[in-house]
Amino acid sequence: MSGDGAVRTPRAERGRTVYARNFDVDEETAERLMTERAGADYTAEAYEAAGGPGWHGDALTDRDRSIAVISALVASDVSDSRLDVYLGLARRNGLDDDGLTQLMVLLTAYIGQPYPSAAMQAVRRSAASG
- Does some domain include residue 116? yes
- Does some domain include residue 2? no
Q: Are residues 106 and 124 in the same domain?
A: yes
Q: Are residues 96 and 117 in the same domain?
A: yes
Question: Measuring CA to CA, which residue among 77, 75, 119, 115 is closest to residue 97?
Answer: 119
- Does some domain include residue 93? yes
What's at 38, amino acid-wise? A
Q: End of a domain among 24, 40, 56?
A: 56
Length of the chain: 130
Tell me the pTM. 0.86
Query: What would the pLDDT profile of 83-123 be if each residue is shown by its tens digit?
Result: 999 999 999 999 999 999 999 999 999 999 999 999 999 99
Query: What would the pLDDT profile of 22-46 be if each residue is shown by its tens digit?
Result: 999 999 999 999 999 999 999 999 9
Q: What is the mean pLDDT of residues 8-17?
A: 94
Question: Measuring CA to CA, which residue among 92, 77, 73, 121 is closest to residue 22?
Answer: 92
Question: Measuring CA to CA, which residue among 17, 91, 27 is closest to residue 51?
Answer: 17
> What does the DSSP assignment read for 5-30?
SPPPPHHHHHHHHHHHHHHTS-HHHH
For 30, the domain range is 10-56
Count of the separate structural domains present in the chain: 2
Residue 1 pLDDT more than 90?
no
The region of weakest confidence among 2-16, 44-58, 69-83, 90-104 is: 2-16
Q: Are residues 71 and 44 in the same domain?
A: no
